[in-house]
Amino acid sequence: MSDILKYIIYSRKSQENRDRQVLSIESQLVELREFAARNGLKVVKEFQESQSAFKPGRPVFAGVMEMLETGLANAVLTWKPDRIARCAVDGGRFIQAMDDGHIQELRTPYEMFRREDNRMMLYIHFGMSNDYSRQISANVKRGNREKYRRGEFLGRAPLGYLNAKVGDSRNIVIDPAKGILMRRLFEEFASGKYSVQGITKEASEWGLLSVNGGQLAKSGMHTILRCSAYYGAFQHGGELHEGKYQALITKETFDKVQEVLRDHQKPRKKIWKHDLVGLMKCQGCGCAITAETKTKHYQRTHRDVSYTYYRCTRRRGKCDEPGVTAERMEQMIRDYLDKIVIDQETWELGVKLLRAKYAAQLNTFEQMRDGWQREYNQLEKKLASLLDMRLSGEIGSDEYGMAKKGLLETRIDLKQKLDDENDGSLQWLERAEDFFDTALRARQVFDRGMGEEKRNLIRSVGWNLFLGDGKLEFSFKQPFDILLKPEARQDLQGGKESNLS
Residue 17 lies inside a defined structural domain of this protein: yes
Residue 408 lies inside a defined structural domain of this protein: no
Contacts 24+ apart (CB under 8 A), 29-34: 31/79, 31/109, 32/77, 32/78, 32/79, 32/109, 33/9
Count of C-beta atoms within a 10 Å radius of residue 157 = 18
Q: Where are the beta strands (DSSP E) in 341-489?
A: 462-468, 471-476
More confident residue, 171 or 1: 171
Same domain, 248 and 103: no
Same domain, 243 and 292: no
Same domain, 299 and 165: no
Share of the chain above pLDDT 70, in %: 82
* Average pLDDT of the residues in 409-425: 69
| Residue after which a domain boundary falls, among 207, 231, 263 | 263
Lowest mean per-residue pLDDT among 366-370, 412-416, 427-431: 427-431
Q: Is 88 helix (H, G, I), strand (E, B) or coil?
A: helix
Residue 149 lies inside a defined structural domain of this protein: no
**Across-strand partners of 462?**
476
Same domain, 13 and 31: yes
Same domain, 232 and 106: no
Q: Are 484 and 462 in contact (CB under 8 A)?
A: no
Same domain, 123 and 99: yes
**Nearest Cα residue to 22 out of 171, 132, 148:** 132
DSSP 204-250: HHHT---TTSS---HHHHHHHHT-GGGGTEEEETTEEEE-SS--SS-
Residue 317 lies inside a defined structural domain of this protein: yes
The reported pLDDT for the residue numbered 44 is 94
* Amino acid (1-letter code) at residue 475: S
Interacting residues of 145 by C-beta distance below 8 A, sequence separation 6+: none
CATH number at residue 227: 3.90.1750.20
Same domain, 60 and 21: yes
Taking 70 as the threshold, does the pLDDT of residue 494 lie above it? no
Q: Are 104 and 36 in contact (CB under 8 A)?
A: no
* Average pLDDT of the residues in 296-304: 75
479: cis peptide before it, omega within 30°? yes
DSSP 436-448: HHHHHHHHHHHHH
Residue 330 lies inside a defined structural domain of this protein: yes
Count of C-beta atoms within a 10 Å radius of residue 404 = 19
Count of C-beta atoms within a 10 Å radius of residue 329 = 23
Count of C-beta atoms within a 10 Å radius of residue 152 = 19
Residue 425 lies inside a defined structural domain of this protein: yes
Q: Over 355-372, what HEC string results?
A: HHHHHHHHHHHHHHHHHH
Same domain, 16 and 108: yes
Q: Are 164 and 170 in contact (CB under 8 A)?
A: yes
Share of the chain above pLDDT 90, in %: 15
| Residue after which a domain boundary falls, among 136, 152, 182 | 136
| Residue after which a domain boundary falls, among 102, 136, 170 | 136
Q: Are 216 and 381 in contact (CB under 8 A)?
A: no
Same domain, 307 and 427: yes
Taking 60 as the threshold, does the pLDDT of residue 424 lie above it? no
Q: How many structural domains does the chain have? A: 3
Does the model's pTM come out above 0.85? no
Residue 392 lies inside a defined structural domain of this protein: no
Lowest mean per-residue pLDDT among 101-110, 120-129, 262-271: 262-271
CA-based R_g, the chain, Å: 35
The reported pLDDT for the residue numbered 60 is 92
Same domain, 444 and 497: yes
Average pLDDT, the chain: 79
Q: Where are the beta strands (DSSP E) in 34-84?
A: 42-49, 75-77
Q: Are 73 and 6 in contact (CB under 8 A)?
A: yes
Domain holding 103, by residue range, is 6-136
Number of Cα atoms under 13 Å in the Cβ half of residue 93: 17
* Amino acid (1-letter code) at residue 400: Y
Phi, psi of 475 (to 5 degrees): -105, 135
CA distance 359 to 310: 48
pLDDT digits (tens, 9 = 90+) for 213-245: 788 888 889 889 999 889 888 877 667 788 888
* Average pLDDT of the residues in 318-326: 89
The reported pLDDT for the residue numbered 326 is 87
Same domain, 12 and 82: yes
Lowest mean per-residue pLDDT among 78-82, 144-148, 326-330, 373-377: 144-148
CATH number at residue 89: 3.40.50.1390
CA distance 67 to 8: 9
Q: Are 442 and 457 in contact (CB under 8 A)?
A: yes
Same domain, 430 and 299: yes
Integer CA distances (angstroms), 485 to 20, 430, 480, in order? 78, 25, 11
Residue 402 lies inside a defined structural domain of this protein: no
